[in-house]
Amino acid sequence: MSINIAKIYSILGSESSIVPLAVKDSFSSLGMTSGSFITGQEEGYDRFIDEVGTEIVWLGGVPVYRWLFDKTAFKIYGFDSKYDARNLKNKDIFERTKKYAPDEEIKTAIEKIEKKQKMFKNLTASKFILSTSLAIMSYIMLTKYKQKYTEKQIKKKLINEYQSKQKEQKDNSLQEKKTQKNTDFPSFKSLGSMTESLAYNSVKNMWIVDGAITSERLLDSRNPQEFIGYAIKEAFSLCFLYYAGGKIQKFLENNAMKKHNRNIALDARVLENNYIKQIFKDGTIKSSLDAFDKIKKDPIELYDFLHKNPNNAIVKIAKQSDIIVSYKNTDKIDTRAYIDLEKIETLKKDLNKLYEQYKEAAQKGENTEKFFKKVKKLKRCSIITNIGTSIFALGVLAPGIMLIKRKFFDQDSEFQTKRDIRNQLIKEGIIN
């Protein structure tokens, strides 16, 4: 089985995919857990449960609850859950999703939605609200469980340590008496130890869940030590998961334009595919660009054009980039999916810009292979740099700051939850 390198780079470089978020957060969890084990075993296990549990809820919670809603509510009402409700915003666009439906079954399903649009919209909104809310509730339950489990384990360990110490002292006392009777040698002890866009954008949906997780972590912190630790982690996470990544990628793309005169904004799958090289080399891209230029600034005309011109290079590249969703590996467009027409316009501009750069390079004697080799290299480097920077910040820098704070401040070196539980057990007379 061959590995699709282009697809890997495409997914890692996508702003709409949750995979880059998962990769970054996994390294963040690894760094945080490792740092916590350095400060103490109890804190390490506490952090491990928190990070792994959160990862499961964060990544799997919303998709699972959405799937369950699709299999229950949507099935009961007989609606096609794959139909994007954003298509209902424009009446003409909606009519065309029916007109250009890839088969009769989908057309019938769209007609059913047409008759009960309000109900379908309400179900879609309910799915978003319910799945997000249940994911948040799952995390809250996880937090309560984690805190109770950690406290129970710490109490158990402290009591066992106290009882062992008492027994050791008693045994040593008996041994001392025995030794004094038989020898003159002393005894020594050892030294020891937003609704629509949110509903249909996985990344934005994750942002809501993550925002709720951050709030829960800060509000439910057991002590100032835990609060400060979460504040550092969440500040880094929110920054490098949702904000910095896009800014870094944009900076790298602008840098490629300024220093190398290469537009690398296109999807990696497009740049890695031989198709774009061929249409640039033989010049057929020009006719496709010209055809697009003839379209009036009318969304309906553009929507019609996408369906009527499957052989247009821009349409094909839009499908490669998943801006347009194809129906079951055919040339037909799955009209249930929403087409962001602004992204189509942006794609056209990026292709036109890259083609102009290609023509300039060709005039200077640069061949097609050399041109795209450089473009692919710049694109790959930008994605690796973007992901690598975030991984370093989340998996090394943030845990490092927390570890330094804990290790070099005497009052903060011990796991405060353990210290609080010990003080409580002493107060209750269970240990002394």
Which pLDDT score is estimated for 423?
A: 83
- CA dist., res. 231 & res. 234, Å (int): 5
pLDDT tens for residues 296-353?
A: 778 999 999 999 999 999 999 999 999 999 998 888 999 999 999 999 999 999 999 9
Residue 91: predicted pLDDT: 94
Q: Is the pLDDT of residue 192 over 60?
A: no
pLDDT at 360 over 90: yes
Question: What mean pLDDT value characterizes the chain?
Answer: 86
**3 state DSSP class of 326:** strand
Map residue 327 onto helix, strand or coil: coil
Nearest to 207 by CA among 242, 239, 181: 242
* pLDDT of res. 424: 84
CA 251 to chain centre: 21
Predicted confidence band of residue 57 (pLDDT cuts 50, 70, 90): confident
Q: Which residue has the higher pLDDT, 146 or 69?
A: 69
Per-residue burial over 70-103, b if 16 or more Cβ lie within 10 Å, else e, is beeebeeeebbbebbbbbbeeeebbebbbebbbe
- Give 3-state DSSP helix, strand, coil % of the chain, rounded to 5: 75, 0, 20
CB atoms < 10 A from the CB of 254, how many? 12
pLDDT band at 173 (very low <50, low <70, confident <90, very high): low
pLDDT, one tens digit per residue, over 243-262 is 888 889 899 999 999 999 99
Please provide the distance, in angstroms rounded to a whole number, between the alpha carbons at the two ends of the chain.
Answer: 63
More confident residue, 231 or 409: 231
Q: What is the pLDDT of residue 282?
A: 94
Length of the chain: 432
The pLDDT tens digits of the residues spanning 411-425 come to 667 777 877 888 888
pLDDT at 220: 83
pLDDT digit string (tens) for 138-171?
A: 888 888 888 888 888 888 888 887 788 777 776 6
Confidence of residue 189 (pLDDT cuts 50, 70, 90): very low
Q: Which single residue is written with the structure tokens 């490669």? A: 320
Residue 333, SS3 per DSSP: strand
CB-based contacts of 219: which residues, under 8 Å, 6+ apart?
Answer: none
Burial class (CB in 10 A: 0-12, 13-18, 19+), 325: middle
The two three-digit tokens of residue 320, written as one number: 């490669």
pTM of the entire predicted model: 0.76
Q: Which residues contact 46 (CB under 8 A, 6 or more apart)?
A: 36, 146, 150, 415, 417
Alpha-carbon dihedral sign for residues 386, 392, 395, 398: negative
In this prediction, residue 197 carries a pLDDT of 62
The pair of three-digit structure tokens given for residue 271, joined into one six-digit string:
């740049």
pLDDT digits (tens, 9 = 90+) for 369-411: 999 999 999 999 999 999 999 999 999 999 998 888 777 765 6
pLDDT, position 405:
79
pLDDT in tens, 281-300: 999 999 999 999 998 778 99
On the question of pLDDT at 82 being above 90, the answer is yes
Per-residue pLDDT, averaged over 74-96, amounts to 94
- Give the relative orientation of helices 224-242 and 244-260 as an angle to the nearest 10 degrees: 40
40-49, 108-117, 358-367, 379-388 — which is least confidently predicted?
A: 40-49
Interval 104-127 mean pLDDT: 94
